Amino acid sequence: MSEIALEVVGLVRRVQGVVSHTLVNGIDLSVQKGEFLAITGPSGSGKSSLLYLIGLLDAPTEGEIIICGQPTSKLSETERADVRLTKCGFVFQFHFLLPEFTALENVLLPMRAHGRMSTKDMHERAMALLTSLGLGEQVAKRPNQLSGGQRQRVALARALANRPEIIVADEPTGNLDTASTEQVFGILRDIADNGQTVVVVTHDAALAARADRRIHIVDGKIHETTFGNGKPEMTAATGTAEYQP
C-alpha cells in the first residue's frame, strides 16, 4: 500500500493589506512517498505561496498540512522549526549558500543544526552526498569558485543532508543553463525514485511533464491535474473528470 508523505486539507492563505488578497484559495492535495509532484501556473497564481506553506516556511490562514502523518497546524514555532529541519529539504532558485563557507561546510550546516550525528559521520555523509552529485573534486571550494550548476548541486546536497522525507524546490533550475537544468532535474528525479518525495515549482512545462503528477494552479486553486502519462484527470474550469489513475 502506498504511503502518504504529505497531505494538505482545505488550505487557504490570505494576506491583509489595504485590501485582502487570497494567495492560496482552498487546496486539497495528497502526495505519496516517492512521488515527484510539479506545481505549475501563471506568474502570481500562488505556486510559491503554496510551496512555502507545504514546507512550513509560512502558516496557513485556514486548513491543515500533515507531514508524514503529523498535523502541523497546532505546533509551536519551535516544533515547526524542528519538522522543517528534519522532514523538509529546501532548494530555491537562488542557491543561498553561505559565501564564506566551502561546499563541504555548507552541506554540514543542517546536520550541525540537527546535532544528532558525530562529527565523523557528518563529514562522511557530506562527502558521500557531494561525491554522488559529481562534486567530489569541489568540496573545498567556496560558492564563488563554482559554476551555477555546481552551486545548485551543493544546495541539493545540503537539502538532502538530514535525509528529509520531502524535498521542496522553488524554481530550482530557474537560473541554470540547459545542461545544468537537465542535471539538476535528473537528480530530483533520482531522489524521488529513491523514495523521497519531491515537490517542485517550475515554469518549465517540459520539465513538469516529466514529473509523476503536475498540478496547474490558477488564482490559488488547482485548475488541472496531469499525470506522468500526460492525461488530465480533471479540469476545474469544466468540471469534467476525464482520467482516473
Backbone φ, ψ for residue 82 (5° rounding): -70, -40
Q: Is residue 128 involved in binding ligand ATP (CB under 6 A)?
A: no
Among 11, 35, 38, 46, binds ligand ATP (CB under 6 A): 46
Total residue length of the chain: 245
Look at residue 177 and give its three-state secondary structure.
coil
DSSP secondary-structure letter at 95?
A: -
Kindly give the pairing relationship between strand 240-241 and strand 232-235.
antiparallel
40 vs 196 by CB, closer to ligand ATP: 40
Among 35, 37, 41, 157, binds ligand ATP (CB under 6 A): 41
Residue (171 or 212) nearer to ligand ATP, CB = 171
Q: Indicate whether 45 belongs to the interface with ligand ATP (CB under 6 A).
A: yes
C-alpha grid cell, residue 214: 503536475
Work out whether 143 is an interface residue with ligand ATP (CB under 6 A): no
Distance, CA of 224 to CA of 31 (rounded, Å): 15
Site for ligand ATP (CB under 6 A): which residue of 15, 128, 140, 241?
A: 15
3-class DSSP assignment, residue 28: strand
Among 27, 29, 49, 111, binds ligand ATP (CB under 6 A): 49
Residues that bind ligand ATP (CB under 6 A): 15, 17, 21, 23, 41, 43-49
